[in-house]
Amino acid sequence: MELHIALQKNFGSFTLDVDSTLHGNRIGLFGPSGSGKSTLVSLIAGLQQAESGRILLDGDLLYDTNRRINVSPDKRRIGIIFQRPHLFPHLNVKNNLLYGFKRSTAGNRTIDFDTLADVLRISHLLDRGVNNLSGGEKQRVAIGRAVLSNPRLLLMDEPLSGLDDTLRFQIISYLKSACEIFAIPYFFISHSILEMRLMTDQVLSIEQGRIIEETTPEHLSRIHMGLNPAGYVNLLKLASSYQLEDMRVYLWGNAELFISGKNDQPDSLFELSSKDIILFKRHPEAISARNLLQCVVTGIFESGGKVGIELGCGDERLVAEVVHQVVGELDIVVGSTVFAAIKASAFRRLG
Amino acid sequence: MFTLTPSDYNAILLSIKVAVTATVLALPFGFAVAWLITYGRFRGKLVLEVMTNLPLTLPPVVIGYLLLLLLGSNGLLGQLLDSIGIRLIFTWRAAVIATAVVGFPLMVRSIRLAMESIDPDLVHAARTLGASRLNAILTVILPLSLRGIIAGSSLMFARGLGEFGATIIVAGNIPGVTQTIPMAIFEYASSPSGDTMALMLCVVSIAISIVVLLLHEYLCKRIMRAD
């Protein structure tokens, strides 16, 4: 997907002014509330008009003030998944799903209804009214409805922010699999770095109506480490191995990780804050933390007054966060060996 | 004894005919004006709003008189219609127009309230799913404002049954031609021996109103259940 946007729009004292060309299929738009993210979504979809500028999607001119072109939203083939599901209350699940499908041109129809219903696990809901679905079911139907309209681009405008944590990670996997299976490029809007890392390959940062940088989700989370109360969030996809009393043992690269609690899922995603890793210069004799990993420092970076230490454990990477003093005292340089201690209870399972 | 004269029956039928015709006639316009006021962004929107609501605050006699000026044989529209052979004044059609004008704001108000409660993002969703502006109106806004349409129609119908001031000026009180229930009651009430007859028509009026209200409740319940 190639999307070129050069747009200007004023709202009183706020000005949205962007000029970017995006290549890729999993692009994120990251910024705080009020930075102009949702406005940009509306402009791209054609629900609002910019005062000046142009929008070009895969070579098709959708909007150009100079040439007075403004393709109406129903002709743009750009779907939106909103923050809330916004299902049509007067239609049942099946008719909600088919609303966009029926209006798409036969030649553009690539999505198979039954396959999608299976992917989103909504096949059993088809005859139900939408008002008595659970929050997660509603959002899944909304995803299905947008995907079935056979869009060439999906705009996801904070589709997870109305959901609690458990639901959030479930919906992420549905979003990802639906877009992957049917090869739909998307533009994912959020103020959550974690969501950016799970959903996107590249990120545009927007602040006060301007795109300030184009970066990777990994880099974004590193530069926000020092200011973020949760620090840098290490994401670990772990394969469960066996139970050891009240801990579960997981395989992580060549090492084993001991994590509190039970879990019967074969694969799980865990988060671990950079603040929950303690570094030792030499092997400590006896400690209460259940995980002690021998690592090599593979990188050092600065973020918001803190220092991030990238640790290599075999092929795996972890980021630990320390204050400046420590770097000198422990004599940490790239290539030095340190021991990282992590409590079994420091890991949080995401889904 | 409950008895009605043939002219009473005529009045009852005519009242229903006038109110139904006026309501059906006003419905598409009411929907369109409600839509313009709710979703439109144009100059003169305030003027449209004020003009729509004006009949609600004006005395019906004033409306009747203005309509008489407009539709009478010397009126702007009257002359035009006269030239193609249509005469409205002192016919039941004039009663329909008077009733439609007087009841219009009630209908617009109800539909507008329903439209305003529709989440604009539902319409946005429909547009991005491939619905043209008109298609979104027909498939999202119309069904979701159905309750307001029913409420507005029954309100306007009920108001139409009672229309007196504007109607008597443009349509007169001609038994069998333009005499509706309120006109007939007015006539009975002004004759010394008409008390019983007036009361009979009052009972009929009350009965029709109750039926309309019950029908309204029934339809609204059905929509709620369908939701």
Q: What is the pLDDT of residues B114-162, one digit of tens each?
A: 999 999 999 999 999 999 999 999 999 999 999 999 999 999 999 999 8
Chosen from B123, B124, B128, B225 to mutate, greatest number of chain A CBs within 10 A: B128
> Bridge partners of A235?
A271
Residue B128 and residue A74: Cβ atoms within 8 Å?
Answer: yes
Single out the residue of B131, B110, B109, B112 nearest to residue B122, CA to CA: B131
Instruction: List own/partner pairs for B133-141 with CB under 8 A and 24 or more apart.
Output: B133/A72, B135/A74, B135/A103, B137/B35, B139/A99, B140/A88, B141/B35, B141/B115
Residue B133 and residue A84: Cβ atoms within 8 Å?
Answer: no
pLDDT value, residue A219: 94
Give the pLDDT band (50/70/90) at residue A128. Answer: very high
- Sign of the alpha-carbon dihedral angle for A206, A209, A210, A211: positive
| Average pLDDT of the segment spanning A302-318 | 92
Quote the longest CA-to-CA distance of chain A.
74
Give the pLDDT band (50/70/90) at residue A217. Answer: very high
Q: Give A86's contacts in chain B (Cβ within 8 Å).
A: 119, 121-122, 124-125
pLDDT value, residue A242: 87
> What residue in A sits closest to B223 (Cα-Cα)?
A90
Structure tokens at A161: 């922010």
Q: Is the ipTM of this complex over 0.95?
A: no
Residue A72 and residue B133: Cβ atoms within 8 Å?
Answer: yes
pLDDT value, residue A137: 93
Give the pLDDT band (50/70/90) at residue B76. Answer: confident
How far is Cα A317 from Cα A272, in angstroms, rounded to an integer?
12
Structure tokens at A312: 């290599």
Domain A2-223, CATH class in plain words: alpha beta
Is the separation of the CB atoms in A182 and A133 below 8 Å?
A: no
Instruction: List own/partner pairs for B121-126 with CB under 8 A and 24 or more apart.
Output: B121/A82, B121/A84, B121/A86, B122/A86, B122/A88, B123/B39, B124/A42, B124/A45, B124/A47, B124/A73, B124/A80, B124/A82, B124/A86, B125/A80, B125/A82, B125/A86, B125/A88, B125/A145, B126/A88, B126/A99
- Angle in degrees, CA A208, A214, A217, rounded to 5: 105
Q: What type of residue is A338?
A: V
pLDDT value, residue A267: 83
List phi, psi (to 5°) of B139. Answer: -100, -15
Using CB atoms, pick whichever of A73, A74, A88 lies closest to residue B122. Answer: A88
Residue A87 pLDDT more than 90?
yes
pLDDT value, residue B2: 73
Q: Give A145's contacts in chain B (Cβ within 8 Å).
A: 125, 129
Residue whose token pair is 């329909």: B96
Q: Give A46's contacts in chain B (Cβ within 8 Å).
A: 127-128
How far is Cα A113 from Cα A93, in angstroms, rounded to an integer?
13
Structure tokens at B226: 């369908």
Count CB-CB contacts under 10 A for residue B23: 25
Residue B127 and residue A100: Cβ atoms within 8 Å?
Answer: no
Using CB atoms, pick whichever of B124, B131, B144 lies closest to residue A90. Answer: B144
Domains of chain B: 6-226 (1.10.3720.10)
Q: Which residue would you say has higher pLDDT here, A261 or A211?
A: A211
Structure tokens at A341: 């201690």
Residue B127 and residue A103: Cβ atoms within 8 Å?
Answer: no
Helix (H) or strand (E) holding A195: helix A193-199
> What residue in B sits closest to A155 (Cα-Cα)?
B128
Q: How would DSSP label each residue in A47-71?
A: SS--SEEEEEETTEEEEETTTTEE-
- Crossing angle, helix B45-57 and helix B6-39, to 10 degrees? 150
Q: Give B131's contacts in chain A (Cβ within 8 Å).
A: 74, 99, 103
Residue A12 pLDDT more than 90?
no
How far is Cα A287 from Cα A284, in angstroms, rounded to an integer?
7
| Average pLDDT of the segment spanning B73-87 | 86
List phi, psi (to 5°) of A87. Answer: -80, 150
CA distance A199 to chain B (A): 22
How far is Cα A23 from Cα B164, in angstroms, rounded to an integer?
70
Q: Which residue would you say has higher pLDDT here, A217 or B2?
A: A217
> Bridge partners of A30?
A190, A205
Residue B130 and residue A100: Cβ atoms within 8 Å?
Answer: yes
Least-confidence region, from A88-92, B3-7, B96-100: B3-7
Give the pLDDT band (50/70/90) at residue B86. Answer: confident
| Average pLDDT of the segment spanning B78-93 | 88
Give the pLDDT band (50/70/90) at residue B227. Answer: low
pLDDT value, residue B166: 94
Whole-number Cα distances in Å, A214 to A22, A196, A210, A244, B182: 9, 13, 12, 45, 75
Residue A99 and residue B126: Cβ atoms within 8 Å?
Answer: yes
Note the pLDDT tens digit of each residue in A32-86: 988 999 999 999 999 999 999 999 999 999 999 999 999 999 999 999 999 999 9
Count CB-CB contacts under 10 A for residue B8: 20
CA distance A90 to chain B (A): 6
Q: What is the DSSP letter of A152?
A: S
Residue A96 pLDDT more than 80?
yes
pLDDT value, residue B1: 63
How far is Cα A322 from Cα A325, in angstroms, rounded to an integer?
8
Q: What is the DSSP letter of A248?
A: E
pLDDT value, residue B220: 86
How far is Cα B2 from Cα A332, in angstroms, rounded to an integer?
106
Least-confidence region, from B15-19, B102-106, B186-190: B186-190
pLDDT value, residue A285: 84
Residue whose token pair is 């100079």: A66
What is A233-349's CATH topology? OB fold (Dihydrolipoamide Acetyltransferase, E2P) (2.40.50)
Domains of chain A by residue range: 2-223, 233-349
